[in-house]
Amino acid sequence: MICAMVHQLTRNLSDDTIMASGFAPYFVDHTTGVYPIAAAGIPWRAEYIGVKGDPITDLHEDMAAEQKARSTYDNLIRLIDDPDVLDPLRFLRQRELNHYQRFGEALEITTDRLNRKNYYACNPAFDKNCGK
């Protein structure tokens, strides 16, 4: 969806518009292709994915990622007035809320099945003396 929005917003750019908008440095490197980069210009890197192999840790990481995406959509929604862009952003924002809810439910199920008194200072799947 994001790629489709970027395409819609950039497909008819003139050279003058590219120069006047400050889009020229990006355009020189990527034309109008979607290149995963933060608004501050920092490229996305695989190390940003926090996977530990520990279900509690990973579910918290997943929930945090959903909230960060929601915050980004909230910020974009505050800055944009184009209804053709706002409607998909609102859909994506709602999707992040739904994902956050599902990850929260998975976290609850996981902790219920482990041990309610263990606030997960250790991983009983690997640490055999965990909680003893």
Residue 43 sits at φ, ψ, to 5 deg, of -65, 150
Counting DSSP H helices and E strands in the chain, the numbers are 5, 0
The tens digit of pLDDT for each residue in 17-41 reads: 989 988 888 888 888 888 888 878 8
* Cα separation, 50 vs 70, whole angstroms: 18
The tens digit of pLDDT for each residue in 83-125 reads: 989 999 999 999 999 999 999 999 999 888 776 565 556 776 7
- Residue 104's closest CA among 62, 72, 48, 50? 62
* Cα separation, 58 vs 17, whole angstroms: 43
Q: Both tokens of residue 10?
A: 């950039």
- Global pTM reads 0.68
Q: Which is more confidently placed, 65 or 125? A: 65
- What integer pLDDT is reported at residue 25 of this predicted model? 87
Q: Are 47 and 102 in contact (CB under 8 A)?
A: no
Residue with tokens 């992040």, as numbered in its chain: 96
